[in-house]
Amino acid sequence: MISRLALISLGWCGLAAASQPTSLADLPDANPDAELKSFVVPEGFEVNLFAAEPMIQKPVQMNWDAQGRLWVVSSTTYPHIKPGEAAKDQVVVLEDTDGDGKADKSTPFADGLHIPTALAPGDGGLYVANSTEVLFLKDKDGDLKADERTILLSGFGTEDTHHLLHTFRWGPEGMLYFNQSIYIHTHMETPYGVRRLMGGGIWEFRPETRRAEIISKGLINPWGFEFDRWGQSFACDGAGGEGINFIFPGSVFATSPGAKRILHGLSPGQPKQCGMEVIEDPHFPADWQGSFVLNDFRGNRVNRFALTPSGSGYIAKQMPDVLASTHRAFRPIDVKLGPDGALYIADW
């Protein structure tokens, strides 16, 4: 059986100072064909291109809906809007209508967004992180275009667009989880009072009551969050170097203001990572089941870890890479299992 990795390739964006080009002549070839030739994959795996420009540009996060459509939030404005420029970022819906493993339909669901950094379909609409706000967008007439826009939460900080609200993930109990990073200072009014988070951390939000609470504080730039099959949650850090972090209510990590005791990651010294997925699919080999997949965006590769329980926590062991590339334009930032059993990787 061949396991498939589907690539959403969108061209070049330098994210690591060590590999920044020194001149225009030093820019890597951003053609997806050049990237495809550079990939090193495990035996029995293959990579195919699912979507590329102009169908989608600069993806930040992606999530599937119950109809097998891939929703992608994209920002060409990032990292900041130019003076006098109108907000123009989008949510795009990608569809593979003929089942050949390639997107053949791209529909802009919402325009006029300002550096949106996360999205999650649900409750008959779409939740979107839009700079300082969490929006709920709804298509009321069935044309796959947002007709209604509601601000559900506001008051998230704007100090650093690299650290805005991000990584929407539905939890097993139906709550929506999302992260913020170290340089953001949030003062958010809710029906249950003001909620403040003066740095990095992870939120849970119950949409039907609009109750938002902090479940964990700290980390530097947590850009990955996921649950395992037992409901335990984990996060990775795009600026910290401790690999996977075990998240639970009340947990506190490095950088949390005023913290007297902190937890450390499960694999100190590991790469800085973003995006996270757990392999739970029969299309993958037996020894991959339960593995955590994370993007080492600075190293142009996708990592895999095996977690085993240890006392009240876990031990993480790094396994052979899911995917590696010699091409510097390959910058994986999000990863999701698709309804077809393939692993989808968003390449900024």
Q: What is the DSSP string of 190-249?
A: ETTEEEEE-SSEEEEEETTTTEEEEEEE--S---EEEE-TTS-EEEE-SS-SS-EEEE-T
Quote the pTM value: 0.92
For the chain, what's the residue count?
348
What pLDDT score does 16 carry? 31
What pLDDT score does 32 carry? 85
Nearest partner of 46 among 330, 328, 323, judged by Cα: 323
At 138, the amino acid letter reads K
- How far apart are the C-alpha atoms of 253 and 273, rounded to whole Å? 16
Measured over the CA atoms of residue 319, residue 169, residue 274 and residue 4, the dihedral's sign is: positive
Query: Residue 119: beta bridge partners?
Result: 128
pLDDT 10s per residue in the chain (348 long)? 556 666 665 432 322 333 455 665 667 787 888 889 999 999 999 999 999 999 999 999 999 999 999 999 999 999 888 899 999 999 999 999 999 999 999 999 999 999 999 999 999 999 999 999 999 999 999 999 999 999 999 999 989 998 999 999 999 999 999 999 999 999 999 999 999 999 999 999 999 999 999 999 999 999 999 999 999 999 999 998 899 999 999 999 999 999 999 999 998 887 889 999 999 999 999 999 999 999 999 999 999 999 999 999 999 999 999 999 999 889 999 999 999 999 999 998
What pLDDT score does 111 carry? 96
Query: Residue 316: beta bridge partners?
Result: 307
Are the C-beta atoms of 102 and 124 separated by less than 8 Å?
A: no
The burial class, CB within 10 Å (0-12 / 13-18 / 19+), for 176 is buried
- b/e string for 21-33 if b means 16 or more Cβ within 10 A? eeeeeeebebebe
What six digits make up the tokens of 247? 């998240």
